[in-house]
């Protein structure tokens, strides 16, 4: 066998340059064990032990010497085994780094840990002390240094993707530290945190043992201190003149009043009033219940202190500008937030704004076509006015509205799913009313074993915001084939935990670990588009509902950039929504207040959808008749959330593999 084969074998590990001289020398001497040994001695004497790119010569030489006199075929096998060992070692090293990183995240964010079913931190709470920001950034820096010590070319395909994702997560977080004096100093808003879903902590906490109840009590006893940290951090936002706008916090006093109106029915006491508590706690039930009541009483007092803090100190210092452009360096901050949410490192507010305008024009024409088919005259807004006034599109009875959403999921969508997806996870989904007034609907993932179902929360307090013609599009977006299906693929996969589970936190961006909002929300909006292809919209009114929702997402690109970069005021943004969507004045106000509170977040939907459609078009063009839509979907969803440049690489590799299989 020609010695050049050895060089070819090593090329894939980036060492062909180093081995060329070795192989040339071997060609000039007799291929025997003595000849090889002579070359090895010369190399050990005159060459360094490690190359510039990390190739370790002594280990490579040992892979020859341990075989004694052997045919070149056997030596090639030795080289192959050696290189496979390098890959396994690199994969193990990568596994350790990702595991250590994820465990660190769980330890520093205990409430999130509990939601994931990891209960070793159930007696702890996350620190909101701003003094910990630098410590966490430095820890992330050390993880990044460990990661960069691995040669990516030594990893297998799955680990290589994990490498790219973790590198992006860590560098994004570290780069975001420069903005720690901005949104991260504002832990209070009407969209995030305990006040938006006070029962969630009870729902995700196990109450099976005495220790479970005790851990829960200890955790609640620590809450007053946590809220003291939040208030101290918010005081720093006032000091730096980086507070939120008034609309982001002015609902909080009312939320606190509603929650604390009756302390006897406070959510935290519920587990202690169940029959199960008497069985588990036995003769300690009364003592434990009284301790819980004392903890609740102290926490309620702290919440009332938070209410006074918000009303008397924070609100008088809230940001005067509607958008963050009013902060010093606010426009630059917005650019970084926009890139954090989209994972597109070169995207600009101007580009996003123009994409929004273009999409609004395109979708407007789609709506006109539906109106023509329905025989409706007038403008789009005239049609929206007719829809709003038609009470037949409203379900006023709460349980009836929830049942309609359930029927769309189980009777309409699920039977069609196997035609467009493969290896569909069988994880449960339930529909519930939102615990607090707020956005129209949202999804919370369940556990990977299915013991805790995914939950589709719907705000049925405002029937006019969920008319029947929009229910299908909303359901598709939040459940299947939208968020629930995407989350389910991740949960049942063999992906490392740091890729399966990403904490959904918006307010700290861009100084927080990205959860790839544009991938997640882009997929859900793509699912609405796919629903048309799947025939899930039963009539032109439901199809109109889809276009209304898509128009809404396109408008978000315009108003979000308008508010935070181009200096729009709140009323102009509200009027833009009223001009192009079917939203009511009240619904538009709530949405605009959301964008004011969460800069950039709403842009992820349409930007992500456009990117996924772009990748699908690329795959269809390059594969032609070989293109399989279910395989395309599986390639995206089975790999979980990631930045779009990584997803594009994954799709390119899949395209190449499909072509090579058919050759």
Q: Please write the tens of the pLDDT for every residue from 533-558.
A: 999 999 999 999 999 999 999 999 99
Q: In what order do the strands lie in the sheet with 429-433?
A: 429-433, 454-458, 441-444
Token pair of 605, please? 């939907």
3-state DSSP assignment of residue 522: helix
The rounded mean pLDDT for the chain is: 90
- The residue segments making up the domain with residue 208 are 109-130+180-320
Asked if the structure places residue 425 within a domain, the reply is: yes
* Same-domain check for residues 417 and 500: yes
358-362 long-range Cβ contacts below 8 angstroms, 24+ apart? 359/550, 359/554, 359/557, 359/606, 360/551, 360/554, 360/555, 360/558, 360/580
* Same-domain check for residues 604 and 617: no
Within 10 A of 585 (CB to CB), how many other CB atoms are there? 10
Say whether pLDDT at 515 is over 70: yes
Asked which of 320, 349, 383 is the last residue of a domain, the reply is 320
* Same-domain check for residues 339 and 385: yes
Token pair of 573, please? 């943004």
Asked which of 300, 320, 340 is the last residue of a domain, the reply is 320
Asked if the structure places residue 535 within a domain, the reply is: yes
pLDDT at 582: 86
pLDDT tens, 164-223?
A: 999 999 999 999 999 999 999 999 999 999 998 898 899 999 999 999 999 999 999 999
Token pair of 617, please? 């078009």
Asked if the structure places residue 78 within a domain, the reply is: yes
pLDDT at 85: 62
Asked if the structure places residue 151 within a domain, the reply is: no
Number of domains in the chain: 4
Residues of the chain with pLDDT > 70, as a percent, come to 86
pLDDT band, residue 139 (cuts 50/70/90)? very high
* Same-domain check for residues 344 and 394: yes
pLDDT band, residue 34 (cuts 50/70/90)? low
- Residue 641 DSSP label: S
pLDDT tens, 363-420?
A: 999 999 999 999 999 999 999 988 888 999 999 999 999 999 999 999 999 999 999 9
Token pair of 144, please? 């990044």
* Same-domain check for residues 467 and 604: yes
pLDDT tens, 69-105?
A: 556 565 556 555 555 666 689 999 999 999 999 999 9
* Same-domain check for residues 209 and 343: no
Asked if the structure places residue 114 within a domain, the reply is: yes
Least confident among 248-252, 463-467, 601-605: 463-467
Q: What is the pTM of this model?
A: 0.86
């Amino acid at each position: 066998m020609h010695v050049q084969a050895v060089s070819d074998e090593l090329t894939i590990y980036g060492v062909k340059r180093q081995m060329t001289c070795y192989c040339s020398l071997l060609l000039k001497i007799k291929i025997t064990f003595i000849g090889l040994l002579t070359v090895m001695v010369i190399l050990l004497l005159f060459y360094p032990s490690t190359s510039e790119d990390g190739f370790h010569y002594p280990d490579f030489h040992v892979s020859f010497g341990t075989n004694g006199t052997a045919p070149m075929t056997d030596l090639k096998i030795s080289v192959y085994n050696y290189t496979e060992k390098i890959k396994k070692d690199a994969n193990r090293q990568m596994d350790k780094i990702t595991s250590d990183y994820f465990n660190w995240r769980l330890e520093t964010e205990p409430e999130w840990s509990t939601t994931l079913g990891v209960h070793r931190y159930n007696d702890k709470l996350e620190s909101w002390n701003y003094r910990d920001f630098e410590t966490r950034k430095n820890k992330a820096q050390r993880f990044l240094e460990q990661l960069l010590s691995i040669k990516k070319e030594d990893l297998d395909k799955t680990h290589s993707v994990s490498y790219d994702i973790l590198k992006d997560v860590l560098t994004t977080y570290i780069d975001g530290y420069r903005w720690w004096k901005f949104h991260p100093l504002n832990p209070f808003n009407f969209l995030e945190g305990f006040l938006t879903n006070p029962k969630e902590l009870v729902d995700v906490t196990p109450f099976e043992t005495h220790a479970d109840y005790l851990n829960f009590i200890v955790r609640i006893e620590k809450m007053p201190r946590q809220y003291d940290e939040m208030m101290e951090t918010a005081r720093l936002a006032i000091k730096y003149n980086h507070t939120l706008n008034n609309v982001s916090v002015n609902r909080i006093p009312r939320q606190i009043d509603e929650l604390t109106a009756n302390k006897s029915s406070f959510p935290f006491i519920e587990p202690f009033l169940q029959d199960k508590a008497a069985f588990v706690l036995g003769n300690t039930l009364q003592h434990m219940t009284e301790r819980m009541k004392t903890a609740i009483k102290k926490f309620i007092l702290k919440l009332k202190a938070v209410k006074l803090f918000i009303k008397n100190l924070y609100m008088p210092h809230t940001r005067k500008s509607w958008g963050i452009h009013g902060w010093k360096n606010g426009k630059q901050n917005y650019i970084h937030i926009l890139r954090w949410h989209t994972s597109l490192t070169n995207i600009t507010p101007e580009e996003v704004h123009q994409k929004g305008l273009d999409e609004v024009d395109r979708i407007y024409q789609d709506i006109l076509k539906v109106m023509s088919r329905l025989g409706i005259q007038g403008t789009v807004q005239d049609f929206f006015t007719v829809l709003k006034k038609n009470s037949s599109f409203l379900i006023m009875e709460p349980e009836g509205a929830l049942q309609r959403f359930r029927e769309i999921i189980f009777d309409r969508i699920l039977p069609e799913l196997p035609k467009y997806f493969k290896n569909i996870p069988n994880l449960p989904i339930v529909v519930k009313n939102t615990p607090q007034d707020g956005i129209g609907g949202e999804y919370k993932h369940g556990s990977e074993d299915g013991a805790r179902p995914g939950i589709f929360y719907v705000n049925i307090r405002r029937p006019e915001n969920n008319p029947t013609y929009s229910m299908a599009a909303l359901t598709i977006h939040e459940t299947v084939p939208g968020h629930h299906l995407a989350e389910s693929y991740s949960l049942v996969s063999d992906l490392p935990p740091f890729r399966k589970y990403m904490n959904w936190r918006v307010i700290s961006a861009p100084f927080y670990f990205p959860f790839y909002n544009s991938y997640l929300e882009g997929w859900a909006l793509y699912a609405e588009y796919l629903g048309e292809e799947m025939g899930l919209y039963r009539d032109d009114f439901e199809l109109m509902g889809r276009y209304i929702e898509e128009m809404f997402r396109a408008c978000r690109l315009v108003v979000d950039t308008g508010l935070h970069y181009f200096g729009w005021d709140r009323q102009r943004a509200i009027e833009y929504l009223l001009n192009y969507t079917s939203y009511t004045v009240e619904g538009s106000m709530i949405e605009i207040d959301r964008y004011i509170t969460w800069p950039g977040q709403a842009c992820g939907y349409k930007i992500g959808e456009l990117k996924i459609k772009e990748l699908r078009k690329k795959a269809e063009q390059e594969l032609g008749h070989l293109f399989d839509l279910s395989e395309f979907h599986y390639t995206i969803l089975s790999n979980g959330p990631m930045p779009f440049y990584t997803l594009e690489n994954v799709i390119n590799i899949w395209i190449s593999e499909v072509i090579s299989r058919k050759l």
